[in-house]
Amino acid sequence: MSEDLHSHSHSHADVLNDSNDHSQEHGHSHGHDHGGHGHCNHSHDMPSSSEQEAEMEAISSVVTSFLYYKTYALNNAIYRRLKCIDELSEPHRQIVASLGTIDKIKRAETLIRENYKLMLDIVYSSSVGSMPDPAGDAGVFKEWLKRFFEVRQSAGKQEVSDSHMKKLYGTMKLFVRDWSSEGADERRLTYGPLIEALEDEFSDIAPESRGSVRVLVPGAGLGRLAYDICCRGFSTQGNEFSYFMLFASNYILNSSLEERQHAVYPYIHQFSHVACSEDQMRAVYIPDALPRDMPYSATAEFSMTAGDFIEVYGADDEKEKWDAIVTCFFMDTAKNVLAYLDTIWHALKPGAVWVNLGPLLWHFDNVAGESSIEFTRDEFLELAVKMGFVFDESKNKEDILLPYTADPKSMLQYTYHAFMCVARKPK
């Protein structure tokens, strides 16, 4: 129970941070393009060989998680449970069997195998960072895979860490939030106010003429907010540094051929807080919208960049490039939020707007060996004012009740009391 509570109390970090292995998950920023609907050209220097090695290590640990998903999930979610039932006394075992519990677990096994096909598809459809394109020369890709397994082995790494698998499970839930019709309510509550504020800001420009308005979405997750903003006519760029997110968003954004093309079983690993087995076994279909059918693709560009927000957008060539920056469940991912604010300031044009919505689950709070400065909401707002931002007080809102990758059918529900603010970098 306490483990559950812990993971839920950090639930929006599930896909992101864990105390031990930040460095193994994140991109090192050299601003790769990502997303086939437009281009952003970052003229950053080529990474050094040690940076390349670090990137290889980061990608390999994430790819390994995708590839070991089946083994890990079967061992942890299925075989362990079947063994416990096997060890029951015969009368108890028969009662349990009569409830259908064993059949349920076996059904879960089948669905984990289905999830695995999707995980493999994601890895084999992606080309992220310096990883060769799996759709290209098969020999080159195999050689690359072999190399990274060797690198891992020689580094004495266990095949896959619990924290990485938790992030992979979290990524499946993010598919629901961002790319399924089941996630529509969560998106309406969360992305809705941000998009509304943006539309309000640029209400004098018709959607077909908004392509010259450049909107940046740092910490873009699986890219839906950025995509939805682009669907309103704005040229939009999402930025991410987690390879879990980059693999998954790359897959959805670039490989989707039809709506509801893939079934994912995101709740299959969860045996607690379940009212009935249909809830746990249910499929969620993705995507609910086809990224390649963007309504304003002739006028608005869409792209994703890989890399740390501060490194990519703190660069000289990003100075005063953006008309709006939209942060959603992002500001609290900072170790030092002043550095995020500095970067937002640097990247915004004079007079441009920053729209923010989220809770304050400081991701590095109490993480061993990491620095972290946590602020209250009031301190955070004051900090932004002291750094020069001017708030539109009429648009600041408190106590916005929000779920995050919630399973609406779960017997356990968490709600964030988030806040929203709209600020401007003065001219």
Ligand X SMILES: C[S@@+](CC[C@H](N)C(=O)[O-])C[C@H]1O[C@@H](n2cnc3c(N)ncnc32)[C@H](O)[C@@H]1O
Nearest-approach distance from CB 329 to ligand X, in angstroms: 4
- Both structure tokens of 224: 């839906």
Rule CB under 6 A: is residue 328 a binding residue for ligand X? yes
35/144 with CB nearer ligand X: 35
Which residue is closest to ligand X by CB?
219
- Give ∠ CA 208-214-218 in degrees, rounded to 5: 130
Question: Could you give the CA distance from residue 72 to residue 65 in angstroms, rounded to a whole number?
Answer: 9
In 1-118, the DSSP E strands lie at: 32-34
Among 239, 250, 303, 343, binds ligand X (CB under 6 A): 239
Rule CB under 6 A: is residue 22 a binding residue for ligand X? no
- Binding mask 193-232 toward ligand X (x if CB under 6 A, else -) reads -------------------------xxxx---x-------
Rule CB under 6 A: is residue 333 a binding residue for ligand X? yes
Tokens 């923010």 correspond to 356
Among 197, 245, 253, 406, binds ligand X (CB under 6 A): 245
Q: Are 259 and 145 in contact (CB under 8 A)?
A: no
Determine the interface stretch with ligand X among 84-92, 124-132, 150-158, 324-332 (rule: CB under 6 A).
324-332
Show contacts with ligand X in window 173-192 (CB under 6 A): 177
Among 114, 308, 365, 374, binds ligand X (CB under 6 A): 308
Nearest-approach distance from CB 245 to ligand X, in angstroms: 5
Count how many residues are written for the chain. Answer: 427
The verdict on whether omega for the bond into residue 287 sits within 30 degrees of 0, i.e. cis, is yes
- Give ∠ CA 178-330-211 in degrees, rounded to 5: 65
Return all residues near 304 (Cβ < 8 A) that are at least 6 apart.
Answer: 33, 34, 35, 220, 223, 226, 237, 238, 239, 240, 246, 249, 250, 253
Determine the interface stretch with ligand X among 130-138, 151-159, 238-246, 346-354 (rule: CB under 6 A).
238-246
Point out which residues bind ligand X (CB under 6 A): 12, 15-16, 177, 218-221, 225, 239-242, 245, 308-309, 328-330, 333
